[in-house]
Amino acid sequence: MRIGYLLDLNKGGYDQPLPDREDVHDTLEAMIQEALVAEEAGFHSIGISDRHGRTEVYWPGPMQFLTILARETKKVALGTYCLVQTLWHPMLIAEQTAVADNLSRGRFFQCPGRGYHSGYWDYFGIPQERMLGRFLEGVRCLEQAFESRGRPFTFDGEFYQVWNQMLSPQPWQDHVPIWGTGQAPAAIKRAASYADSWAGDPFPLEKATWDRELGAYREAATAEGKEPYVILMRDGWVADSYEEAMEEFGTNYLDEVRFYARHGIVTHHPDFQHEDDFTPEATREHLVMGSAEECIAQIEKYREEYGVDYIMMRFRMTNGPSFEAVREQIRRFGAEVCAHFHDLYPPPEHPAIPEGARW
């Protein structure tokens, strides 16, 4: 079991005024510092989201940020969580991934997704038909580029073409890990075909539904000759008590998850289908939140009862808490929770984990 940190590129309220240049500069610096503190605190990985075209987005896209972190960090795994693959030509993703993988000496993973936000596709003028086909073809082209190992190759797809070209530089790793995404049953099962793992969302889980979806993923991965590996994103906060954690973090969490509920994105649990369903009491068992002992117990529950191999934690939502509070939370969670698991369990040896970060 390892614990990573998910760093969001949003700050401020949805549809806030356009930020001025001093605010942009200071926020970009604060986000870099947030990532560096996560490494210092002992988190195993840093995942960066993919955002575009809104005033709360200060750092559009994850790859510039990750390239900086590849230079500024020493041991933490780095990757997208997730990259909206349908926004980019796969060769651009391959080039940027190779640079970051070399700068980090093999600590990079890529987590491509189909995407769901129509505004992102509108932002780049991308047609919104047949997005699943575009996504799957893009992943195949990306993998072919990684596997070419300095040899020219041709990819003649319906959406993407590469004519007798060579990816240069090649990634540092012989195999760049791909983390699969998707929350619908078909997407979860499909992750087994193109990825080394399946990465789940942070929303409430209904055990029977989870077991069906996990079983389908495991069966499909085994049929592909792969060892299943399950990554689960969670929101949470460590404090002296659950009540204190809810006071410090809960309002931000509830505002965020209710936003997703209004847009019909929350899945998996029949008790959470409307924004009013999200209350401090109802969400308690679905958060990694409270005292250190409570956080550890919840993560162990996910490991033992849900078959989760890896947790990605998020502490900062679009509207807060502040960068200062989040940095302190990262340090505390790292010392009181991450250290427990990283000391207790052996380093992961799995294709989903980058070669340079198997500690």
Alpha-carbon dihedral sign for residues 89, 90, 93, 99: negative
What whole-number distance in Å separates Cα of residue 341 and Cα of residue 220? 29
Q: What is the pLDDT of residues 187-224, one digit of tens each?
A: 999 999 999 999 999 989 999 999 999 999 999 999 99
Q: What is the pLDDT of residues 97-115, one digit of tens each?
A: 999 999 999 999 999 999 9
pLDDT, position 267:
62
3-state SS class at 323: helix
Tokens 């989870």 found at:
210
List Cβ neighbours of 133 (8 Å cut-off, separation of 6 or more): 158, 159
Over residues 281-307, the mean pLDDT reads 96
Over residues 68-89, the mean pLDDT reads 97
Residue of 44 and 259 predicted with greater confidence: 44
Alpha-carbon dihedral sign for residues 248, 35, 53, 179: negative
Over residues 232-240, the mean pLDDT reads 97
The two three-digit tokens of residue 339, written as one number? 């250290």
Cβ neighbour number for residue 74 with a 10 Å cutoff? 10
Is-contact 38 330, C-beta < 8 A?
A: yes
pLDDT, position 165:
97
**pTM score, whole prediction:** 0.96
pLDDT, position 63:
98
On the question of pLDDT at 132 being above 70, the answer is yes
